[in-house]
Chains A and B, each alone.
Chain A
Amino acid sequence: MLELVKELCALNGVSGAEEEVRDFIRAKAAPYADSIRTDALGNLIVYKKGKKPTGNKVLLAAHMDEVGVIVTKITDEGFLKFDFVGGVDRRVAIGKPVVLGEKKVPGIIGLKAIHLVSREEEKKVPKTDSLYIDIGAKDKEAAEQLVELGTYGAFVGTPEEFGTGLLKAKAIDDRVGCAVMLELLKEDLPLDVTFAFTAQEEVGTRGAFGAAFSVTPEVALVLETTTAADLPGVEDHRKVCAPGKGPVISYMDGGTIYDRELFETLRDLAEDNHIPWQTKEYIAGGNDARTIQRSKKGIRVAAMSAAVRYLHAPASVGSTADFADMLRLTRLFLDRMAESC
């Protein structure tokens, strides 16, 4: 599955422009799907029959989109003003390369040299509205040949394994969830499963509204990533979780109180099968589960995530063993769901 994660992370799909990721997933999923469709929000919804005919009982969900930038203005000198799409700490964007639009125009987020900065100025991080993208255009007209207002830009980063079992890549959030679902699609499933590859999670779990409404499952498992802050100097109770300690099974985050029974099911399956697991030791963040849970008359939700350092940054870091364990545990979860109905 690791190669698939890398392939997926190399694709660009900033919220609202998920085409490249969706096309890739659709092509991979189609041979195994009983039905496949793209809805109005850009979600890709794949249905696959399993051994037990259970219909819409179980939904697996992972989002295709990633954080990035969008061009808001082109200056007379040919530089691009921009806004962030999704939650990006601007400190991780300074001096980073981006690729813009379908033409994949290379650009960099510039910052004047340290020699030209006063001692006072040096202590502050420039505001987003003073940042700009340099595409090497000599003036506005030249820039307009390459980009237009509303052109999306994605961060750049080659997926790369390093250290002891870690992967560095952009968009691990949430291509790892997509990879787990694509792997499962290839397998014989114990029950009918709907796979929702959602759009626009990073700008307010927008895609999940439509996907949950149209699918209306009884149970949904969201496959995600979550912030790890296991760095030196961080107090233990704020480290949240750590890559390499197994999938994170959430009981609560900033958006959802998870279904207790499903939480316990996942926890016990991990314990019984000697799969390492952890939970979030800090209540923060949120994902598609919050939206799915409150759809129609309500849907029971669970979430399983890979602990990822430097989430929403061009170089995010996760554990390859955790990715594999997410797949194993999801498989066991589907088996358990099939047994219980």
Chain B
Amino acid sequence: MDHQEVLGRLCALAGPGGFEGTVAREAARLLEPLVDRVQVDRMGSVVGLRSCGKESAPKLLLDAHLDEIGFLVTGHEEGFLRIAPLGGVDPRMLPDRELTILTQPPMLGVVACLPPHIQTREDMDKSQPMKEMVVDVGLTQEEAQRLVPIGTPAVYRTGCAPLGEDLLCGKALDDRACFAILLDTLERLAGEELDVDLYVLGSTQEETHSTGAITAAFGVMPDLCVAVDVTHGDSPDAPKDKTFKLGGGPVIGVGPNCTRWMSKRLERKAKELDMDCQIEVMAGHSGTNGWDLQISREGVATAVLSLPLRYMHTPVETASRADMTDCARLLAQFIRDIGKEVPSYA
């Protein structure tokens, strides 16, 4: 699968939490040829089903979220906009940052920054909190109030492009890179006989409250699920023990959020494929939809599979195409014959 092509398309679209409509439509379009049925549910999540044709087959849900971090307009001042974060935004990424304000039609905004002459040296060493920032949309106060109502969302104004030979860099790779992995997984399984009904979920509102995953899982009633999300990739300024090597392969989650036999199965399958993989031990919350999927209805056996991502929650999120391919290969191998391993809870 051409991850660059798919992400080029998905990441260029704006879909902050609660405003995923456009992304969901594109996700559904990409999913359609690979499944028997696609629908967009009440919370805006995309759910695709590939049935195995066997009666009362176990249901396996694969999840990747479609939303991205973003902003909401909260006020106007001298024609500039005040904004609040929608998800975990790093304010240090913001001075002189270009945003797309999601008006109809969308408009350019630039996060204003104060020039050096009106700041002291100490000021310039401090990171400016978001509540002090304003966005320049080149309008008067009256125009701004009329054209950009309070509550208008905004996102980073960028897409996704190659960086070096293997990496892709842009916004919203968290978690659309993983949605691309799910598509890739389905492609790899095309034409094969499976022993589970496969549900593929592109969920909404993960960055805020996992609302899309919680509600979709209630509807699907899965027996098993895999939350596919990003984890921290390595960079020169990040602690080595908290990050995972880009190009080092898929990251398999271990801990209370990860049902043990599923983690072990992932590890075993990686070995069978002679694939490098990495283990992430999570003592509590996995920081993914897996946390909520696990306690859907009476509980769901859950695995967390992660893609290493550098500079998470920035407009320059960076991931390896080789890792994406390996995640899909591993996931496909994990799914083959998994029906046999589903325990009975009687």
Give me the interface of A with B, judged by CB distance under 8 Å: 75, 77, 79, 87, 89, 91-92, 94-97, 106-108, 110-117, 122-126, 130, 132, 134-138, 142, 157, 160, 162-166, 168, 227, 229, 231-234, 238, 240, 282, 284-285, 309-311, 313-315, 317
Contacts and interface: CB of A to CB of B under 8 A. Distances in A.
Given A94-B93, A132-B237, A317-B136, 20 more contacts: A75-B236, A89-B113, A92-B96, A92-B113, A94-B95, A110-B311, A113-B311, A113-B312, A114-B90, A115-B313, A122-B127, A124-B125, A125-B127, A229-B115, A231-B114, A232-B77, A238-B117, A238-B118, A240-B117, A315-B96
Contact of B169 (A79, A125, A136): A136
Give the top 3 A-B pairs by smallest Cβ distance, nearest first.
A163-B138, A136-B164, A136-B163
A231 B310 contact: no
B138 A232 contact: no
Majority secondary structure of chain A interface residues (helix, strand, loop or mixed): loop
A164 B237 contact: no
A240 B117 CA distance: 10
B42 interface: no
B114 A135 contact: no
A18 to B, nearest CB: 23
B95 A91 contact: yes
Given A111-B93, A163-B137, A125 B124 contact: yes
26 contacts: A87-B116, A91-B113, A91-B127, A92-B113, A96-B96, A108-B318, A110-B237, A114-B90, A115-B88, A116-B243, A122-B92, A123-B127, A130-B237, A134-B235, A163-B139, A164-B138, A166-B138, A231-B134, A232-B77, A232-B80, A233-B132, A240-B117, A282-B117, A285-B117, A309-B110, A309-B112
B315 A95 contact: yes
Given A89-B124, A134-B318, A229-B118, A111 B169 contact: no
A313 B94 CA distance: 12
B127 A317 contact: no
A108 B315 CA distance: 10
A134 B163 contact: yes
A306 B106 CA distance: 27
Interface string B97-121: 1100000000110101111111000
A132 B313 CA distance: 18
Contacts of B138: 162-166, 317
B169 A114 contact: no
A313 B80 contact: no
Interface of B: 77-78, 80, 88-90, 92-93, 95-98, 107-108, 110, 112-118, 124-128, 132, 134, 136-140, 143, 161-167, 169, 232, 235-239, 242-243, 247, 287, 310-316, 318
Contacts of A163: 107-108, 136-139
Contact of B93 (A95, A97, A164, A314): A95
A324 B125 CA distance: 38
A210 B162 CA distance: 42
A91 B92 contact: yes
B310 A134 contact: yes
Contacts of A114: 88-90, 92, 312-313
Contact of B110 (A89, A124, A317): A317
A111 B316 CA distance: 9
A125 B92 contact: yes
A87 B108 CA distance: 26
